Structure 1
Amino acid sequence: MDIVVLVSGRGSNLKAICEAYKTEKIKGKVKLVISNRKEAGGLSVAQEYGIPAEFHDPKAFSSREDYDRHLVERIRQENPDIVVLAGYMRILSDYFIDSFEGRLVNIHPSLIPAFKGIKAQKQAVDFGVRFSGCTVHFVTKELDSGPIIVQAVVPVNPDDDEKTLSDRILQYEHRIYPQALKWISEGRVKVSGRNVEVEGARYGELPVNPALEDF
C-alpha cells in the first residue's frame, strides 16, 4: 500500500509509520511527505528515511480551497492508495475530502467524539475526565468525527497536565497508527456507515480496541 503523508509538526507519528514500512510490517512505500510549514520536523524525518519531502506554502494561494486544489493535484501525481494525516494542523476543504473519500485517514489525541479540535489533551485535563486516549479514523467533513478504526485508552492521573498526558497518549499513537495502516493494507478494514470492522481482529480488550497484533 503506497501512501502520501501530510504533516505540520515534529513528525513523530510519521517516524513510526516510516519504521513500519522500513521493517516491511507494511508492504509498499511512503511515496511523498508534504508539509504546510517550512520548519516542520516531519520534513527532516522524511529525509532521514530517504522519502521525498516538500513544503507547500499556503500563503502563496488566495484561499484555502485553492491551496487544497493544488495539494490534490500534487498528491494525485503519486497515485497513492491512502492519504495519511500525521499531525497536519489545517482544516481540510470539502474539495480535498471529496477528492480522497474513503482513502483519507487521521489520528486524533482523544477518544472521539470527545474533545475535538486543537489541544484535545488540555481539554481532557481541564474537563477532569478519568480516561482519554487516541483514535485512528477515516476523515469526513465533520471535524474529528469520521468512522473509527482503532482507539487506545489512556488513564488521566490527578497530577497530569497537558504535557504529561500528551506524552503518554503519544506512546499509543505510535503503536495504533501503523497498526491501522497495516490492517487497511491487508484489506481487512470494512466500513458500513459509521461502523468499522477489522476482519479477524480481537475485540473488547483494553487498552486498545481492536487489540494490537504486530505492533
Structure 2
Amino acid sequence: MQRIAMLASGRGSNLQAILDAIASGTLPAQVVGVFSDKPGAAALERVPADLRWSADPKSFASREGFDAALGDAIAAVQPDWIVCAGYLRILGDAFVERFRGRLLNIHPSLLPKFRGLRTHARCIAEGDREHGASVHFVIPELDAGTVIAQARVPVHPGDDADTLAARVLEVEHPLLIAVLRLAVAGRLAERGTNVAVDGHPLFTPLLLDSAGALRSPDAGTPL
C-alpha cells in the first residue's frame, strides 16, 4: 500500500479529506506522517501522536537547517508521495530536489494565475469570472511546477475573499483525492518539466467534473 506524508501549517481540512477517503476505502493508501512548521497546528491533532512531527523554524540556525531536519524526518517514514496541503512555508531548493518527482502541492487558484498568497482577493480584484484550485508537482520556483489537474468554480457578483475561498475549498478536497488516486495507482509521474499519466504526456491539465472524476478537457471518458 502506498505511503503518504503530509505537510500542513493550519487546520488540515485537506488532510482530513484524505483520512476520510482512506477510511472509506476510496483511496488505497496510508498516511504515515504529518509534518508541520507550526507546533500548534490543528492538522497535527488529526492523527495519532506517533505520526506527528513539528518544529519551530526559528529554533534553527538557518532555513537550510530546518529543511534538512524536516527532510530527514520525512525520509524516515519512507513515503511514496509527499503532499503539501496548506503548508505555508516555502521549501528550499535542496529539499525539493531531495524529493523531486513525488512532491505534490494543492494551490487555491487556477495556476499559473495567482501564485503565492491572497489568491481569492486577487482574483476578485482582477475581475475574473472563474477561479479554482490546482494540484501540481513542486519545483524550486514557487507554485510553478507542472499542473496535473484543476477544479473550477464561478466567481459570483458580490463575492468577497471569504465566500470565494469557501467555494474553492469545496472542490479542493475531491480534486486532491482524485489526483492521489492516480498517484497511488502508479499512473502519475513527473517527466522532466512534463506530467505523464499512464505513461503518456499530459499537455493540458486534467479537469475535475461534477462527479469528482478527472477528465481530459478534450475527452469525455473519466480517467
Please report the TM-score for the alignment, with normalisation by the length of structure 2: 0.87
2:150·2:208 contact (CA, 8 Å) conserved in 1? no
User: d(CA) in 2 for partners of 1:27 and 1:205?
Assistant: 20
Partner residue, 2:12: 11
Partner residue, 1:36: 37
User: d(CA) in 1 for partners of 2:56 and 2:93?
Assistant: 20
Partner residue, 1:57: 56
Q: Say what the alpha-carbon RMSD is for the aligned residues.
A: 2.4
The Cα shift of 1:115 comes to 0.2
1:23 aligns with 2:24: yes
1:134·1:151 contact (CA, 8 Å) conserved in 2? yes
1:15 maps to a residue whose letter is Q
User: d(CA) in 2 for partners of 1:51 and 1:26?
Assistant: 22
2:173 maps to a residue whose letter is H
1:110·1:134 contact (CA, 8 Å) conserved in 2? yes
User: d(CA) in 2 for partners of 1:152 and 1:27?
Assistant: 22
Change (3 A) 1:204 1:75: closer
Change (3 A) 1:194 1:116: same
Change (3 A) 1:15 1:131: same
The Cα shift of 1:34 comes to 1.1
2:170 maps to a residue whose letter is Q
**Pairing of 1:196-207 with structure 2 (within 5 A):** 196-199=195-198
**Pairing of 1:165-176 with structure 2 (within 5 A):** 165-176=164-175
String of CA shifts for 1:76-124, please: whole Å, max 9, x gaps. 1101001110100000000110110101000000000000001111111
Query: Which structure 1 segments of 5+ residues have no match?
Result: none
2:149·2:208 contact (CA, 8 Å) conserved in 1? no
Change (3 A) 1:93 1:143: same
The Cα shift of 1:181 comes to 0.8
Partner residue, 2:181: 182
1:10·1:40 contact (CA, 8 Å) conserved in 2? yes
User: d(CA) in 2 for partners of 1:195 and 1:76?
Assistant: 25
After superposing the two structures, state which structure 1 stretch, 34-43 or 188-197, moved more.
188-197
User: d(CA) in 2 for partners of 1:191 and 1:179?
Assistant: 17
Partner residue, 1:140: 139
Change (3 A) 1:188 1:62: same
2:178·2:213 contact (CA, 8 Å) conserved in 1? no
SS of structure 1 residue aligned to 2:159: coil
2:131·2:155 contact (CA, 8 Å) conserved in 1? yes
Please report the TM-score for the alignment, with normalisation by the length of structure 1: 0.90
1:94 aligns with 2:93: yes
Q: Quick one: percent identity of the two aligned structures?
A: 40
Partner residue, 1:152: 151
Change (3 A) 1:148 1:36: same
The Cα shift of 1:38 comes to 2.0
2:101·2:189 contact (CA, 8 Å) conserved in 1? no
1:4·1:33 contact (CA, 8 Å) conserved in 2? yes
Partner residue, 2:109: 110
1:76 maps to a residue whose letter is A
1:17 maps to a residue whose letter is I
User: d(CA) in 1 for partners of 2:90 and 2:208?
Assistant: 33
Query: Which structure 2 segments of 5+ residues have no match?
Result: 216-220
Find runs of 4+ consecutive structure 1 residues off by over 6 angstroms. Answer: none
1:163 aligns with 2:167: no
Partner residue, 2:47: 46
The Cα shift of 1:209 comes to 8.1
SS of structure 2 residue aligned to 1:29: strand
